[in-house]
Amino acid sequence: MVVNVAIVGVGLVGSEFIAQVIATQSKKIAVVAVANSRQFLTSPTPLTASWKTDLASPASKAFTLDAFTASLAASKATNPTVVLDCTSNETVAAYYPTWLASGFHVVTPNKKAFSGDLALYKKIKELANGAPGSPMVYHESTVGAGLPVINTLNDLVNTGDKITKIEGIFSGTLSYIFNNFSTLDTSAAPCKFSKVVSVAKDLGYTEPDPRDDLNGMDVARKVIILGRVAGLDLTQETVNVENIVPESLRSLSSEEFMNRLPDFDEHFEKLNKEAIQNGQVLRYVGLVDPVHGKSSVTLARYPASHPFASLKGSDNIIAFTTERFPSPLIIQGAGAGAAVTAFGIYTDILKIAERTQQ
């Protein structure tokens, strides 16, 4: 049985997913609807490589979530339908219960529904409760892009393992910055913190305003997601977040921030020297601690022997410490980018395809 996929948000990740489906000539997935913020297009047959032209044609309709959903319901066939949300929009995330109640499955890399309003999260879990015939929700790509982070955590929880700690470097941006800024490699030339941030920005690793990475909120959202999957009712208020943007630079324009950041190189250099003198490095880490009830996002020190200290490039690394895995189960690899995010989405939809055929 083919699974029909309707995509909201056809930017970088949405477009890459369509390209992967077309390239693999999938026999299990058919993209039958696409939407951007202005218009949408539905088709009785799978969309082809000309979908962008088709979406811009007079055949498309003005987009609203209600109109898009009504169109899907009107064309609902015997095949199961997955709504794929590739936006980062809160309004779209709040619509998931409507889709689920209509019998559609949901797959998404959008963190908002899983890290925002706790009542929304619980409503989604109530509707996608795992009962026979109930709709399914997969969001592997909300943490670590295509890395099997949430799938692994679900497996640990569903088999009765006791989670004692989840710790990780969840931001590719902050991974790159601190892997290059704080190193015990004596052959590496010393780098100013502001220079590393500037290079990361030029390489496209950071958000247009790097403070959106440095303030820790993206990492906090991932901590909340993992904490909730592990059974904790985490919210933004219950996660202690260390914002490493100097306070006097928080209200400036992005350009002023970059111009003034060198004024604080001495501050970051002091932190780094203190760590290195103790055989440690600085890493920006998210922590879920169910045992002590203290989940956090902090700039922490790690010895050279720790897996976090030897991380390279912009990789993510996540360590699960459990009753069965007292020596942590570690997942490491590329945790950002359109290709790996689309891969995570693709595997989620294939799971739904497999489960709906059982």
Catalytic entry in 28, 111, 222, 312:
222
Distance from C-alpha of 184 to C-alpha of 240, rounded to nearest angstrom: 28
CB-based contact 53:23 (threshold 8 Å): no
Distance from C-alpha of 164 to C-alpha of 119, rounded to nearest angstrom: 25
Concerning whether 222 is annotated as a catalytic residue, the answer is yes
Residue 337 CB: number of other CB atoms within 10 A? 16
CB-based contact 137:210 (threshold 8 Å): no
Distance from C-alpha of 202 to C-alpha of 104, rounded to nearest angstrom: 40
Residue 258 CB: number of other CB atoms within 10 A? 18
**In what side-by-side order are the strands of the sheet with 239-241?**
239-241, 295-303, 280-288, 163-169, 316-322, 329-333
DSSP label of 261: G
Straight-line distance from the first to the last Cα atom of the chain, in angstroms, rounded to the nearest whole number: 10
User: Strands, DSSP E only, in 9-50?
Assistant: 29-35, 39-42
User: Strands, DSSP E only, in the chain?
Assistant: 3-8, 29-35, 39-42, 61-62, 81-85, 105-107, 137-138, 163-169, 239-241, 280-288, 295-303, 316-322, 329-333
Positions marked active-site: 222
